[in-house]
Amino acid sequence: MVTAAHRMMPPMEYVRLHDEAAGLDGVIAIHSTARGPAAGGCRLWTYPDANAAMVDAFRLAEGMSYKNAMAELPFGGGKAVLRKPEGKFDRRALFEAFGAAIEKLDGRYVTAEDVGTSVADMEFVANKTRHVAGRTSRPGFAGGDPSPWTALGVFEAMKAAVQFRFGSGLSGVTVAVQGVGNVGGDLCRRLHEAGARLILADIDAERCTALAREFDADVASIDDIAQADADVFAPCALGGALNEKSVASLKAGLVCGAANNQLAEPGIAKTLLERGIAYAPDYVVNAGGIINVSAEYLGESVEDVRTRTMKIGPRTAGILEEAARDNLPPSVVADRMAERLMSRPIADVA
Ligand code: NAD
């Protein structure tokens, strides 16, 4: 999540994690518990030093507060960042030590997967604490892979945003998808079924070609996808897809995709506005996954996940309409809305 200057920043609470024998070295950052326990995944990544890991954890924890509040979940925002040990290491020992640290927080932080961690890791965490989601799913209950839910939310958001921007349905609209992995691939399937024309790009050329064949799509190079002749640009790879260079040559009139942190820096939102490009804010659009994780933790059903995920479409439309009315970047409108939700008790906002 990009930290915008207008964002409120309560003092960040954090716990340093260190257990040399288990290979545990990292931090749990708790940005907000105003709406409930701080929820956000656990990232296992290589960082040059402990400070770099801490900076990343703070930034990500703040982002989770906004995302969870916007999705109207009873959770605040937090994140764990663990430094990946060099060479071979014992994942069980590491994640059990991490689980023990979470247990000491007595439910103030709830973890799940993020970059570099898996369902198997969360099962190790669960040996030491119940404050963990993203585990193996049980029939009828929410759980399992969050990607299809993320894709559904992005699809619903795009439907609403296309209606707002072009006054049409998805049929006949051209969408350039950057990154056709777990979320991007499922989004392509939904878009193809809805009659959209697709242009795909991925560094995994083999997967990209196979999906292009399946969905009768064109393929662009990873350098050209942002400038493709499309109505919609859907960043579904890594963060930072929207920078001064890519936005200057963007042909699409709408950006709506799954990737986190799409704005390389907050000022890009204004550039998009000046160019007349509608931007559906990333954390509003891609909340389907955390909705699924939240429901798993609370023991809710698959239907609960569907109902909440389907709200992403109307929510996106509302933000785009308010932004257009007030001539503001949609990301600013979204942040203000999330901050309002963070500052009120759940009962007032349900
Ligand atoms: P993934 O790893 O399955 O897919 C990402 C794809 O992007 C891969 O196929 C990769 O080869 C491709 N890629 C990487 N760099 C690229 C580039 N420069 N150009 C084109 N393609 C490139 O990941 P995912 O789970 O599908 O997540 C995609 C994005 O959505 C990420 O930013 C992630 O943080 C975000 N997100 C995912 C979820 C979820 O439920 N999985 C939830 C919220 C947000």
Q: Convert the pLDDT of each residue in 38-68 to its tens digit.
A: 999 999 999 999 999 999 999 899 999 999 9
Mutate to test the pocket of ligand 1, among 147, 183, 286, 292 (most ligand atoms within 8 A of CB): 183
- Whether domain 13-126 has CATH 3.40.50.1580: the reply is no
Give yes or no on whether 13-126 and 147-286+315-340 have one common fold.
yes
**pLDDT value at position 347?**
56
Going from the Cα of 249 to the center of ligand 1, the distance in angstroms, rounded, reads: 22
- Helix (H) or strand (E) holding 282, with range, is helix 282-285
Going from the Cα of 150 to the center of ligand 1, the distance in angstroms, rounded, reads: 11
More confident residue, 8 or 185: 185
* φ/ψ (deg, to 5) at 150: -60, -45
- Which residue among the candidates 79, 84, 104, 128 is catalytic per the annotation? 79
Give 49-82 as a 3 state SS string. Answer: CHHHHHHHHHHHHHHHHHHHHHCCCCCEEEEEEE
Q: Give 140-191 pLDDT, tens digit per residue.
A: 899 888 999 999 999 999 999 999 999 999 999 999 999 999 999 999 999 9
Domain ranges, ordered by start, for the chain: 13-126, 147-286+315-340
Q: How confident is the model at residue 115 (pLDDT cuts 50, 70, 90)?
A: confident
Diameter of the chain measured on Cα atoms: 60
**pLDDT value at position 1?**
36
Q: Is 79 a catalytic residue?
A: yes
Ligand 1 proximity of 293 Cβ (cutoff 6 Å): no
CA-closest candidate to residue 143, choices 114, 124, 110, 119: 119
Q: Ligand 1: which residue has its CA nearest to atom 12?
A: 179
**pLDDT value at position 311?**
98
Q: Ligand 1: which residue has its CA nearest to atom 9?
A: 181
Q: pTM surpassing 0.95?
A: no
Where do the H-state alpha helices sit in 138-181?
147-166
Matching CATH number, 147-286+315-340, of 3.40.50.720, 3.40.50.300, 1.20.1250.10, 3.40.640.10 = 3.40.50.720
Strand 76-83 and strand 42-45: the pairing is parallel
**pLDDT value at position 299?**
94
